Amino acid sequence: MSRKISVVLSIIMVFTFIVTLTNETGFGAESDRLVEVSLITRPKASSPDEFETITILAEEMRKVGIDAKVDVMPWEQMADVVWYDRESWDITGWQMTARPERLDPDEFTYNLFHSSTAETGYNFIGYINNEYDEVAEKQRVTVDKEERRKLIYKSQEIIAEDVAYIFSVNPMVNIVYNNQVFAESSIKEMAGLGIKNFWTYLYAEPISDQKDLVLNSNDTVQAVNPLYISGSVDSWITELVWDRLMRMGQDGLPKPWAAKSVDWIDKTTIRVVLRDDLRFHDGEKVTVEDVKFSFEVPKTGEAPMYKPFVDIIDVINIEDDQTLVFKLKKPWAAFETASLAKINIIPKHVWEPVIEDLKDKPENAESYQEEVPVGSGPFKFSNWKFSEEVVLSANEDYFQPPKVDKWIVRFVENMEATFGMIQNGEINFLATYLGDNQLLQQRVKEDEKLTMVSSIDLGFRFLAPNHRIRPFSDKAFRKAVAALNDRELIAALVWKGFAVPSDGVISPALEYWDNPNVNYPEAGLQNARKILEEAGYEWDEEGRLLYPDA
Amino acid sequence: MSLLKVEDLKVYYETTRGTNKAVDGISFNLEESQSLGLVGESGCGKSTTVKGLVRVMSKNAFIPDGKVMFKDRNLLDLNEKEMNKIRWSDISLVPQAAMDSLNPVYTVKNQFLEVMKLKGEMSKKASLNRAKTLFKKVGLNEELLGYYPHQFSGGMKQRAVIALALALNPNLIITDEPVTALDVIVQHQILKELKGLREELNISLIMITHDISVVAQTCDQIAIMYAGKIVEKGPANEVLKKPLHPYTMGLENSFPDITKPNKKLISIEGSPPELISPPAGCRFAVRCPFSEDICFKKEPELIKINEKHYSACIHQKNLEELRAKSREVETWQKVVS
Amino acid sequence: MLKVIKNILLQVYTFLKNDKFAMTGAIIYVFFFIIAVLAPYIAPYNPHEMIREGSNYMFNQPPDSNFILGTTNMGRDIFSQLIYGVRPVLMVGFSAAFFVMVVGTLVGLFSGYYGGKTDSILMRFTDVAFGIPFTPFVIVLVGFLGPSIWNIVMAMAILLWRDTARVIRSQVLTVRERSFVEAARVSGASDLRIMFVYIAPNILPLSFLYGSLAIGWAILTEAAVSFLGFGDPNVISWGYMLNDAYVSQALSRGAYYWFIPPGIFIMLAVMAGFYIGRGSEEILHPKLKEY
Amino acid sequence: MNLRWKYLIKRTGQMLLTLWIIATILFFIFRLMPGNPLVAYIDPTFTEEQQEILMKQFGLDKSLWMQYIIYIKNLFQGELGQSFFFKDSVINVISKVLPNTIYLMLTALIIAYTAGIVGGIFLAWKRGEMIESVGIVFTLFTRAAPQFWVGMILLAIFSFQFDIFPSGGVSQAGTVYSSELDKLLSFQFYRHLFLPALTLSIYLLGLPLLLMRSNMLDVMDESYVEMAKIRGVSKIRVLVKYAARNAFLPVITAMAVGIGYAMGGNVVIETVFSWPGLGRLLVKAVSTSDYPLAQGAFILIAGVMVFMNFVADILYSLLDPRVNIDSKR
C-alpha cells in the first residue's frame, strides 16, 4: 500500500483525537454562591439500587437548580473518603445491614447519632445534638421495656425533625426456596431477617432425596473464625458452628439457648445456668470455664471486633459447674441481645494456647485460621473449597440436631447464573439476591416448585448528609433534599415495589420499637422549592440555586 | 521402443488477467536410455512442461489437451493413485532449486528411507544400504546421511538430490537446471558423474536448461523451446552445428565456446511475448532478423527438414547463408523491438 | 491543493477497491462515523432519560413501533443508547490506536535505527511491557484511579505499544540496510532526517496496520472493563450497556433484544479494525503472489 | 557447546532484569495509588493505638524506601507477604486458586491450538475457494466477539435454557475430592469446565488458526513440498509431514506466549462462570485494596509471562534444526 495513503489516514486519526478531546472538557464561570453538591455512590454493578437512587435524586436536585454531580467509587474508596476524611464529602448513599444483634434498637439509636461517636465512630455524618445524647444514654440504662420504648419513640422523633439522615426505604427481604426439597412448615420466618435465619437452618426438613441445604452468596468467605467479624457470609457460618448462651427468637427477642436460664438479679448482675448436655465437635464437654474464657478473650485485645460487646462486663464468677454470674459496670438494656446472644462459646483447650502465643506477636486472633474449626453449635465444619464453597455437616449429638445432612454455601458472583441455579436445582435456597425482584417474583409464579417469602428488612437504605459543611449543615437544605427524595417513587421505581418507604432507623419489622407517626418532610418538588425560599435561598437568571447571602 | 511420446501437450494457467498459455502444444519423444535436452530462455515453459509430465501443478494450472504416452500408457488419463505409483519409481526429478528441495526439519536419511518405504518393498536395513551405496556412487560420505539438509554445501546437496532421484532406479530422470547454481568446476564434475551413472544404469534423461553448452556435453537429442512451443528439435550435433531456426542461431551466438575463444557474443534484442494473448503468426517474428510479412500472419508448422531434424520456420532453403549472416552483430541490431 | 486531495482520495479508493476486506472495514467505519455525528437526529430519545407515558414508566418494553429495540429495566430506550454508544467507543478506539501507533513506531524506529545500547535499553523496556499482563494492569489502574474512559486509553498507551515496537524495529532493521538509506547517510543527511524522511514512510503502512489492530483491542478492553464494573458510569458506551444488561439479568428475562445488539456492534467495530488494517489477507499472508 | 550456554545465560540474565524492573514498577504502582489500603480492615470503632498495631503488623509504618528493601528481600526468598483481606500468606491464598486457573487455561489452550492448527491446514488446503473466505471471516468473528458476551450467551442457552451444563463453579455442591487427581478424573469436573473452556478457546482460536494458515501458504510454495508431491508422497502425508511440520513451529512459540497472556487474561470468563481462579482473585484484591495479594498475583502472572517468552525462544531453536546452534557437525 503506497506511503501517501497511510500518511493521509494517520492525519485523519490525529484530527479525530483532537476533536474528541476538546468537547470533553466543558467551560463555564463559577460564582461562589452557586450550590454545588457531589453525591457519592457505589457502581451499578455492585449496588444497583444505591446507584439508581442517587442518579434519580441528582436529576431532581438539578430541577431546583442545584449543580448535582454523581461521583461513583468502589466501596473501599467510598469508605475511605467518608470515614477517614470527614470534611471532604457532601452526601453519600449508605446502608445499614440486618444483623441479629441489631434486633435491639440500642446499636442504631446510640452509635449512629451520639456525639461521642462523631469523631471516629459510626456517627460519620457529624450529628451533634445534646438533647438527643441524653435520650440515647437514658434508653441504654432503662431495663424496663415500656419505659425504654417511650425513649426510643422520642429518639425517632428528634431524628425525623432534624432530618439527620435523608431516609430512603426498608427493602423487602425476598428469599426463595425449593418447596419440593424442604417442607413448607419447617421454614421459619424471623422479624426483620425473613426466612434466612438460624431457625430455618435448624428446623428445615428435607422431603426428597436431596438431604442437603444448598444456598448461595455473591461474596466469598473471608475467614471461619469465632473471634473475627469478617463478612456477612462468614457470620452465617460462625452462627451455626459455634453455640451461644442465648439466641434471638423468631419474634426478634433474645431467649435462652445454650443457657438453661438467664435471670437478672439486679440491674447489673445476671445469673446464667448452663445446659449440661453440651459437647464440642471434638468430643470435649462444654464447661463453665469455656464460657468464662469465651467472654474474657475479647478483653485481651486479641479479638478487637468483639471488644465493644464485652466492655460493659466487670467480672464473671463461676458459682458451680453449671452456673456463672455476670457483674456489669453499669446497667445495659441491650446486654442480652448484644452480648449473651453475640459472643461465641469457644473451646478453652483449643484457643488458650493460641491466645497465649499471640500475646507478643503483632498479629491478633483474627489472622489465626484453625485447620478444622471446633465449636459446639448445631453444625460441624466439614470442608472449605477456597472462593468456591463452604460445607457444614449436621452435628448429630447436638441437643436440637438439624434435620438436613449438610449445609452448603456456594459463592456465585454472576447474578444470572444464580438465577439459573435456583431453577435447575444446583442450589435449593436463594439466600442472596441483588437482581430484579420483579423478575424473581414472576419466575416463582411460573415455577410451582419455588416458594418466595418476602418480609420487611431490619436494615435500611438512606442518604447520609455531612452535617459539618455547607450545604448540608443547614437543616432547611436537608429538609428540601428530603422532599426531593421521593421515597414512594424510589420504592416503586428502583425497588419495583419490593420495599417500603422508611422514616427512621427502626424498621417497621420491629413493631414494638417502631414509632409509626414521625413528621418527616413530605415529598414533592413544590414543597422543596417552598422550603428553600423560606430559608432565604434564591435563584439566578438561568435558574441556578444560590446560597442565601446572609 | 520409445519410452516417452509427448503429443501436442498444452498446459495453461488461469490468472486474474486471463488464461496464460504457458505450454501451447509441444510434441517430442524419447527412446530408452537416450537423453533429450530441452533448451530455452526462462519463461519459455520448460519447467511447466516438466510439471505437466509428472502432473504436479499449482492449483490454477490445467491441461486442456494433448497426450503423454509413457510405456504406451497415457499419463494424463491415470487417476491420482495410479500416477503416484509411477512417480519416482519410473520417473524421478532432480529439482531446480536443490538448495531447499529437501525437508529442512528431517535428516536426509529420513527422507531417503521414506521414499524407499513408500515405493520399494525393501526392509529398513536394505533401504539403508541402498542409500549408502547411492551416496558412494555420487561421491558423498556415508555419515552425511544422518545430517540435516542445511548442513550440506551447494555441491553436496546437488549430489544428494541426484542420489535421491536414483533411489528406485527409475527409467527416466528429469533434471531441471541441475547445475546452474554451482560453480563451473563442480558443474563439470556433476555432469560427468551424471553421464557415467546414466550409461551404467541405462536410464533415459530429460535435461532442462537455458545453457546450451551444458546440453551439448550430455544430450543425444535437443529440442529448442520458445514462448511455449518447440521451434527446433533434432540430434544434438546437427542442431548445434547446423541450426535451422533463427532463434537457435541466436542462442548459439550468445554462449561462449571454449573452442572459439575470440567468438563475439551477440544477444537477441527484445523479450519473449506475453502468453496471455500471444501474437499471431510466428511468435519469434518480432525479434527475428529474417522475418517477413508471412511470418506475422501464419504460424509455421514444425516440419521435418531432414532425417530426424525438425524446424518451425518458413526458411528451409539457403540456410547456410542465414547462418553466416546470423553470426554478424549488425543482423541482430537492425531488429527494432 | 484541491487536486492533491482529489488524487489522494482516488488512491485510497483504488487501494480499497482491490482488497475486499479493507473495503468492508472502511465501509463499517464510515457507517459508524455517520452515526456518531448524526446521533442526536437518529436516536429517538435521550439515552439517560427514563421514559414515562403518563404516570407509569416504560420498564422492559419488548421492541415495538416506538421502541425499536425495546427498553431497559429502568425504562431507558435501548436503541438510543446503542446510537449514542458509538461516540465513546470510537473515541476510545481511535485515541488508543493513535497512542499505540505513535509510541510503538517511535520506539521501533529509534531502537531499530540506532541499535547498540539504545536498542538494548529500548528492547528491555519492551520486554518489561510484554511482561506486564494487560487486562489485570487495566483493572488495577482503573480500579485505583477511578472509572473513566481516559484511564483505559492511558493504560493502553502505557502498555500496548509493545507489539508495534517489536515489529517496527525488525522492519527498520531491514529498511536500514537498503541502498537508498546508505546513499542518504553518505550524502551527509542527519540521523533524524534519515529516520523520518527516508525510513519512516516505508514503515508507516505497518505501523498503521498495528494501529488499526489496536482500535479493536481498545474497544474490546473498554467492554471488558465496563463489564467487570470498573466502567465509566457517566458515559453510555456499548460496554456500559452490556454491563447494565448483565446486572439487570436481561438474559434470564429473555430480553435478547437488550443483550445481543451491543455485542454485535462491538464485534463489527472490532472486525472493521482488523479489516481496515490493510485487509486481513495481507496480515495473514504477506507474500501473496498474483499468478 | 559453549555457544549455547552463553546464549542461555545471557537470556536468563535479561529475564531476571526484566522481572526485577516489573517487580519495582508494581511496588510503586500499589504504594502510590489513592485510597488507604487499611480502611477495609480497621473496624471504625478501633482506637488510635489499635490502628497503630495493625499498621505495624502490615509494615505500613516504615518509610517507603524501607518497605521497598523488605519487599525485594522477601521477593527473593519467595515471600510475598500477608494478604490483608484473607489474613493469610499471599502464597497460600494464591496456591488455592492457581490450580483452577491452570486447568481452565491449559484445556482451553489445547483445544484452541489443536483446532487452530487443524483449521489452519484446512483453510490453506482450500486456498481460494469460497469455504476459505467464510472460514477467515468466522475466525475474525471469534477474535472480535467480547469474551463475556459469548460466555453469557452460551450460559443462557446451554445452562438456563437447556440445563445441559451447570451455570457455575468447579464442582457440584458438597462434592469432596480425595486428591487433585481424583478431581481431574471426575466427570462432573469436566461438565463444569466445559463452557468456560469453550468460551476461552473460542477467543484463543483465532491466533493459531490465522498464523498456521499464513505459514502453511508460505510453506506450500517451498520446493521441498513440491518435490514431495513429485516423489509420489500422498496428499495427506505431504500436508502433514512436509507442510504442517514446518508451518507449526511459529505457532508453538506463539502458544508459549499465549500461556502467559491466558494466565492473567481470563478474568472476565472467571467472573461469568464463577470460576475461582487467579483472575477473579486479582479483581477481588484490587477492589478491596488488598495490595499485597494484588501485587503477589501480579508478580506471579508477570513472572509466568516473562518466563514463557523465554521458553518460546528456546522452543523455537529446539524445534527447528536450522536454528540449532550446536548441531552435530
Q: Give the three cell numbers for residue B201.
A: 544404469
Q: What residue ranges of chain D have pLDDT lower than 70? A: 1-3, 33-51, 53-61, 264-265, 322-329
Confirm if B294 and B314 have CB atoms less than 8 A apart.
yes
User: How many whole angstroms separate alpha carbon A157 and alpha carbon A163?
Assistant: 10
Inter-chain CB proximity D148 and C284 less than 8 Å: no
What burial letters (b/e) apply to B187-220, b meaning 16+ CB within 10 Å? bebbbeebeebbeeeebbbbbbbbbbebbbebbb
Q: Give chain B's count of helices (H) and strands (E).
A: 12, 13
Confirm if A397 and A279 have CB atoms less than 8 A apart.
yes
The reported pLDDT for the residue numbered A176 is 92
Inter-chain CB proximity A1 and C246 less than 8 Å: no
Asked whether residue A82 falls in the same domain as residue A162, the answer is yes
User: How many whole angstroms separate alpha carbon C137 and alpha carbon B8?
Assistant: 69
Confirm if A172 and A192 have CB atoms less than 8 A apart.
no
Phi, psi of A405 (to 5 degrees): -75, -50
Q: Give the three cell numbers for residue D251.
A: 505457532
Strands (E), A282-367: 313-320, 323-328
User: How many whole angstroms separate alpha carbon A83 and alpha carbon A94?
Assistant: 12
Confirm if C11 and C205 have CB atoms less than 8 A apart.
no
Asked whether residue A145 falls in the same domain as residue A73, the answer is yes
Identify the contact set of chain B against chain C, taking CB-CB distances under 8 A. Answer: 13-16, 20, 58, 60
| Helix C134-145, helix C149-159: angle, nearest 10 | 140
Q: Tell me whether residue A392 is in a domain.
A: no
- Nearest neighbour of D18 by CB, restricted to C131, C133, C285: C131
Smallest Cα distance from C83 to chain D, Å: 19
The reported pLDDT for the residue numbered D323 is 63
Asked whether residue A15 falls in the same domain as residue A105, the answer is no
Other beta carbons less than 10 A from residue C38's beta carbon: 11
CB-side exposure of B101: number of CA atoms within 13 Å? 25
Q: Give the three cell numbers for residue A304.
A: 478487637
The reported pLDDT for the residue numbered D47 is 58
Phi, psi of B66 (to 5 degrees): 110, 165
Range of the domain at A526: 34-170+458-546
Asked whether residue A527 falls in the same domain as residue A540, the answer is yes
Confirm if A416 and D155 have CB atoms less than 8 A apart.
yes
Asked whether residue A22 falls in the same domain as residue A62, the answer is no
Q: Tell me whether residue D71 is in a domain.
A: no
Confirm if D285 and D267 have CB atoms less than 8 A apart.
no
Chain A contact present for D44, CB below 8 A = yes
CB-side exposure of D264: number of CA atoms within 13 Å? 30
Torsion angle, alpha carbons of C239, C244, C250, C252, to 10: 110
- Nearest neighbour of C247 by CB, restricted to A4, A20, A415: A415
User: How many whole angstroms separate alpha carbon A398 and alpha carbon B19?
Assistant: 92
Neighbours of chain C (3+ CB pairs under 8 A): A, B, D
User: How many whole angstroms separate alpha carbon D237 and alpha carbon A186?
Assistant: 69
Other beta carbons less than 10 A from residue C162's beta carbon: 22
The reported pLDDT for the residue numbered B322 is 79
User: How many whole angstroms separate alpha carbon B160 and alpha carbon B163?
Assistant: 5
User: How many whole angstroms separate alpha carbon A233 and alpha carbon A149?
Assistant: 32
Smallest Cα distance from C188 to chain D, Å: 36
Other beta carbons less than 10 A from residue C110's beta carbon: 20
Residue D236: list chain B partners with CB under 8 A: none
Count of the separate structural domains present in chain D? 1
Which H helix or E strand runs over D62?
none
CB-side exposure of A366: number of CA atoms within 13 Å? 27
CB pairs under 8 A between C and D: 148
User: How many whole angstroms separate alpha carbon A99 and alpha carbon A106?
Assistant: 13
Residue B114: list chain D partners with CB under 8 A: 233
Chains A and B touch (3+ CB pairs under 8 A): no
A471 cis-preceded (ω within 30 degrees of 0): yes
Neighbours of chain B (3+ CB pairs under 8 A): C, D
- Nearest neighbour of D18 by CB, restricted to C127, C141, C246: C127
Strands A259-266 and A313-320: unpaired
Asked whether residue A471 falls in the same domain as residue A486, the answer is yes
User: How many whole angstroms separate alpha carbon C18 and alpha carbon C16?
Assistant: 6
The reported pLDDT for the residue numbered A379 is 94
Instruction: Give the bridge partners for A466, in sequence order.
Output: none
Q: Tell me whether residue A337 is in a domain.
A: no
User: How many whole angstroms separate alpha carbon B36 and alpha carbon C220?
Assistant: 64
The reported pLDDT for the residue numbered B318 is 77
- Nearest neighbour of A410 by CB, restricted to D35, D173, D273: D173
Torsion angle, alpha carbons of A340, A341, A343, A344, to 10: 120
Residue B56: list chain D partners with CB under 8 A: 226, 229-230
User: How many whole angstroms separate alpha carbon C279 and alpha carbon C26?
Assistant: 10
Q: Tell me whether residue A269 is in a domain.
A: no
Q: Give the three cell numbers for residue D266.
A: 481470563
Q: Give the three cell numbers for residue A78.
A: 467510598
- Nearest neighbour of C224 by CB, restricted to D34, D148, D263: D148
Q: Give the three cell numbers for residue B224.
A: 529448442
D167 or C259, which is more confident = C259
Q: Tell me whether residue A517 is in a domain.
A: yes
The amino acid occupying position B328 is E
Residue A304: list chain D partners with CB under 8 A: 43, 46, 50
Q: Tell me whether residue D24 is in a domain.
A: no
Chain C contact present for D224, CB below 8 A = no
- Each residue's pLDDT expressed in tens, for chain A with a length of 550 residues: 445 555 555 566 555 555 444 443 434 344 678 888 999 998 876 788 898 899 889 989 998 889 898 888 877 678 778 877 788 899 999 988 888 778 888 888 888 888 888 877 778 888 889 999 999 888 888 888 889 899 999 999 999 999 999 999 999 989 999 999 999 999 998 888 889 999 999 999 999 999 999 999 988 888 889 988 877 888 899 999 999 999 998 888 889 999 999 998 988 899 999 999 999 999 999 999 999 999 999 888 788 778 878 888 999 999 998 999 999 998 888 888 889 999 999 999 999 998 888 887 767 787 788 888 999 999 999 989 888 899 999 999 999 999 999 999 999 888 888 888 898 888 999 998 877 888 889 889 999 999 999 999 988 999 999 998 888 999 999 999 999 999 998 998 888 889 999 988 999 888 888 888 888 888 888 999 999 999 888 888 888 888 887 6
User: How many whole angstroms separate alpha carbon A53 and alpha carbon A41?
Assistant: 9
- Nearest neighbour of D149 by CB, restricted to C130, C263, C288: C263
Dihedral sign from CA coordinates of C225, C226, C228, C233: positive
User: How many whole angstroms separate alpha carbon C120 and alpha carbon C111?
Assistant: 8
Among residues A511, A514, A498, the alpha carbon closest in space to that of A169 is found at: A498
Neighbours of chain D (3+ CB pairs under 8 A): A, B, C
Q: Tell me whether residue A277 is in a domain.
A: no
Confirm if D242 and D147 have CB atoms less than 8 A apart.
no
User: Which DSSP state fits A339?
Assistant: I
Other beta carbons less than 10 A from residue D90's beta carbon: 24
Q: Is A266 helix (H, G, I), strand (E, B) or coil?
A: strand
Inter-chain CB proximity A493 and C228 less than 8 Å: no
The reported pLDDT for the residue numbered D328 is 39
| Helix C78-114, helix A3-22: angle, nearest 10 | 130
Strands (E), A457-524: 460-465, 499-501
Chains A and C touch (3+ CB pairs under 8 A): yes
Chain D contact present for A349, CB below 8 A = no
Phi, psi of D274 (to 5 degrees): 45, 50
Residue D280: list chain A partners with CB under 8 A: 387, 413
- In this prediction, residues B257-284 reach a mean pLDDT of 76
**DSSP alpha helices (H): ranges in chain C?**
2-17, 20-42, 78-114, 116-131, 134-145, 149-159, 161-177, 179-186, 191-193, 200-225, 238-247, 250-253, 256-276, 279-284
Torsion angle, alpha carbons of A182, A184, A190, A193, to 10: 60
Identify the contact set of chain C against chain A, taking CB-CB distances under 8 A. Answer: 8, 11-12, 15, 50, 57, 59, 73-74, 87, 90-91, 94-95, 97-98, 101, 143, 146-147, 201-202, 204-205, 207-208, 211, 228-231, 233-234, 243-244, 246-249, 251-253, 278, 282
Q: Give the three cell numbers for residue A454.
A: 418476602
| Helix D90-125, helix D278-287: angle, nearest 10 | 130
Q: Tell me whether residue A207 is in a domain.
A: no
The reported pLDDT for the residue numbered D327 is 39
Chain A contact present for D199, CB below 8 A = no
- Nearest neighbour of C274 by CB, restricted to D140, D267, D305: D140
Phi, psi of C19 (to 5 degrees): -130, 100
Inter-chain CB proximity D264 and C135 less than 8 Å: yes
User: How many whole angstroms separate alpha carbon A99 and alpha carbon A90?
Assistant: 28
- Nearest neighbour of D321 by CB, restricted to B80, B96, B150: B150
Q: Angle CA(B49)–CA(B55)–CA(B57) in degrees, nearest 5?
A: 75
Inter-chain CB proximity C242 and D148 less than 8 Å: yes
Reply yes or no on whether the pLDDT at C279 is more than 80. no
Chain B contact present for D131, CB below 8 A = no
Residue A220: list chain D partners with CB under 8 A: 276, 284
- Nearest neighbour of A13 by CB, restricted to C11, C12, C94: C94
Neighbours of chain A (3+ CB pairs under 8 A): C, D
User: How many whole angstroms separate alpha carbon C203 and alpha carbon A347?
Assistant: 73
Ranges B219-223, B284-288, D89-93: which has the least confidence: B284-288
Residue B21: list chain C partners with CB under 8 A: none
Inter-chain CB proximity A13 and C228 less than 8 Å: no
Chains C and B touch (3+ CB pairs under 8 A): yes
Of the spans A273-277, B96-100, B196-200, D82-86, which averages the highest pLDDT? A273-277
Instruction: Give the bridge partners for A456, in sequence order.
Output: A172
- Nearest neighbour of B88 by CB, restricted to D231, D234, D245: D231
Smallest Cα distance from C123 to chain A, Å: 25
Chain D contact present for A214, CB below 8 A = yes
Residue D322: list chain B partners with CB under 8 A: 104-105, 148, 150
User: Which DSSP state fits A141?
Assistant: H
Other beta carbons less than 10 A from residue A443's beta carbon: 18
Range of the domain at D195: 90-328
Count of the separate structural domains present in chain A? 2
* CB proximity under 8 Å: B 155-174 to D: none
Asked whether residue A105 falls in the same domain as residue A15, the answer is no
Q: What is the largest CA-CA distance in chain D?
A: 87
Chain D contact present for B213, CB below 8 A = no
Among residues A51, A57, A52, A88, the alpha carbon closest in space to that of A72 is found at: A51
Q: Angle CA(A474)–CA(A478)–CA(A483) in degrees, nearest 5?
A: 145
Residue A435: list chain C partners with CB under 8 A: 247-249, 252
Query: Which residues are CB-contacts of B215 (< 8 A; sequence separation ≥ 6)?
Result: B37, B39, B207, B209, B222, B236
Dihedral sign from CA coordinates of A15, A20, A23, A25: negative
Which H helix or E strand runs over A94?
strand A91-96
- pTM, two decimals, is 0.79
B181 or D39, which is more confident = B181
Residue B15: list chain C partners with CB under 8 A: 290-291
Among residues D36, A87, D271, the alpha carbon closest in space to that of C144 is found at: D36
The amino acid occupying position C190 is S
Smallest Cα distance from B13 to chain C, Å: 8
Report the CATH number at residue D238. Answer: 1.10.3720.10
